[in-house]
Structure 1
Amino acid sequence: MRHLIIGFLTLSLITTFAILPATAQQMARVETIAAVINEDVISESDLLDRMRLVIASSGMTDSKEIRERMMPRIMGILIEEKLKLQEAARLEIAILPEEIERGFASIAAQNNFTPEQFRMVLNKTGVSAKTLEDQIRAQIAWSKIVQVKLRPQILVSDNEVDVMIKRFKANEGKTEYLVSGIFLPVENPAEESGVRQLADNLTRQILEDKVPFPRLAVQFSQAPGATKGGDMGWVQEGQLPEEIDSVLGQLQEGELSKPIRTLSGYHIIHVRSKRMTTAQNIPSRDEIMNNVGLERLDRLQRSYLLDLKTGAFIEHRV
């Protein structure tokens, strides 16, 4: 079974998927509206196509149970993409056809295919190339919104960097952890059960060695390091939320946490390595400024997207 690499270079999105056969039912779908988002709709075929792409690209087994557990999250992703595209239109941000073509061609090239060949390969999975193109379109739209609206709001002062350096120095001799994480947000109480079930399912997939952690992080995590397989870099004791920090010290190298509930959602933590903090491995000023800026940008993005959801008309029909 051939494994392909899908990567959108502009956003550093890297994942893999296996070719799966199309079914007769997929070839003869009847269009049904799955959700309404303001003036746009998500069809049931949109939902099923994305579901199939995500399952295949994450390497998960395609089963009724997996689909049922993933359905709410996939629907949430598609709703967010509609809102991102609507916001780009409101801000008069254009997503050009050639930008989408370049993104698609980059992914094809990573797999040693021409775009035409890659479309044929996608078709063998039972997924239209339009499914991937729609995902690329939304990614481009959001990256432009972030550059125009959000990034200019991020400021990190020299004084803040000084405080961080003092904190790092105060932790010399203490343990720090090389961590990867999957973050699944819970934005309202109605999502609690579904997100918890998804977190449990992802954890089980990893523990049973069915799917590598990085693949699931790319597909499901909403954290800044998701596009890098969930990489969070080196973190020190006290740097993460208390709920995570208390678990971190109990994990051995290579160990995976159970889903951890924080105020914002569920986290799955993988400790890849440990070391003692020394003067030699304290980050530089530029690294600290960049890391703090990225953390703030991530929070700002999530807040902005939540505001879009709050102000939108969203109706689920399936």
Structure 2
Amino acid sequence: MKRAAGAVLLGAVLCLAAAAPSQAAAVKVTVNGQPITDVQIAQRVKLFSLEGNKTGRTGATKQLIDEALQMQEAKRLGINVSNAQVDSAYQQVARNIKISKDKLTQMLQGQGVSIESLQDRLRAAIAWNGITESAIMPQVQVSELELDQQAAAKMNAYNGFDYILKEVIFVAPGGRGASGRTSQANRYRQQFKGCDTAVDLSLNYTDAAVIDLGRRNATQLPEAVAKELAGLNVGGITRPRVMNSGVSMLAVCEKAEAEDLTFIKSDLRANAGNAALETKANNYLEDLRSRAKIIYN
């Protein structure tokens, strides 16, 4: 959840900042005494234009105010963002657009873009991540009862089983010769008498392997496979499927109704946690705005 939250909070800000106009700056807004100038706003408007954001000066001003609040809150909490962290984020921007760091710098300078303005934006994003991890994430709680109820509701006729499986593979790297291998796999399937003799039977075929997959919950399997397995009894084997490694079949060694909803709950927990974290983060920032002294000139 932590990594996913970081991606949500940082993803929108790792982009190119716009060039600073050369005219003298005039203070347009102060945030708890910290000035935001018309130059900064003009830069952000230009950035918005590059991004396709049409909120103009209103949106640009709001974003700069939010960044000022984020940096002030980070300072209050003792969260420091090092130049090395900013440099690493700058490097990541270059990677995201598949160019080198030096090429990114050249590109920005070639367009008259202030490198410092991009670095400032990255610094605020990193600071907000730190606030999220230290002050917001501990407040996020996900109801286990609700997860249990949601997981139970997702159980159906085909994903409510635990299996002990063996995979039988007729090797065909990259799918080459898959047609002939599928014919052999079908013959194997017709002769299959259960997991105990799976390996012995495979010895009658060239480049056939039996792999113990161990315990699998149906939710860990592709839906089509889970549905087919649900219709098989112990000792059954699925139809051949062409995979990248060859032609594959799954043999059912054990099968039982699943009582553990962990596999379903893990996905539900991640989704619920990320949604709750985003809501908490938005509320936290809104509270900073409501308590701030913001003066428009």
Identify the TM-score tier after normalising by the shorter chain. Answer: 0.5 to 0.7
Distance (Å, rounded) in 2 between the aligned partners of 1:141 and 1:308: 14
Distance (Å, rounded) in 2 between the aligned partners of 1:288 and 1:19: 36
Residue type matched to 2:296 in 1?
A: H
2:139 equivalent in structure 1: 153
User: Cα distance, 1:119 vs. partner?
Assistant: 1.8
Cα distance, 1:17–1:132 mapped onto 2, change above 3 Å: closer
Distance (Å, rounded) in 2 between the aligned partners of 1:310 and 1:18: 29
Q: Paired residue for 2:271, among 285, 291, 315?
A: 291
Any stretches of 5+ residues in structure 1 without a counterpart? Answer: 1-7, 61-65, 171-282
Q: Identity, % of aligned pairs?
A: 24
Cα distance, 1:27–1:290 mapped onto 2, change above 3 Å: closer
Q: Larger Rg: 1 or 2? A: 2
2:30 equivalent in structure 1: 36
1:34 aligned counterpart, secondary structure? strand
Distance (Å, rounded) in 1 between the aligned partners of 2:73 and 2:13: 27
* Residues 9 and 106 in structure 1, CA contact (< 8 A), matched pair in contact too: no
The alignment's C-alpha RMSD in Å is 3.1
Distance (Å, rounded) in 1 between the aligned partners of 2:17 and 2:36: 25
Q: Deviations over 1:134-191 (max 9, x none)?
A: 1111110000001001111212232120122345569xxxxxxxxxxxxxxxxxxxxx
Aligned runs of 1:1-318 on 2, under 5 Å?
13=11, 27-58=21-52, 66=54, 69-168=55-154, 284-317=264-297
Distance (Å, rounded) in 2 between the aligned partners of 1:286 and 1:167: 15
Distance (Å, rounded) in 1 between the aligned partners of 2:14 and 2:125: 18
Residue type matched to 1:75 in 2?
A: T
Any stretches of 5+ residues in structure 2 without a counterpart? Answer: 1-5, 157-262
User: Cα distance, 1:15 vs. partner?
Assistant: 8.6
Residue type matched to 2:63 in 1?
A: I
* Residues 35 and 314 in structure 1, CA contact (< 8 A), matched pair in contact too: yes
Cα distance, 1:78–1:14 mapped onto 2, change above 3 Å: closer
User: Cα distance, 1:47 vs. partner?
Assistant: 0.8
Residue type matched to 2:136 in 1?
A: L
- TM-score of the two chains, using structure 1 as the length reference: 0.52
Distance (Å, rounded) in 2 between the aligned partners of 1:107 and 1:80: 21
2:164 equivalent in structure 1: none
- Give the aligned length: 187
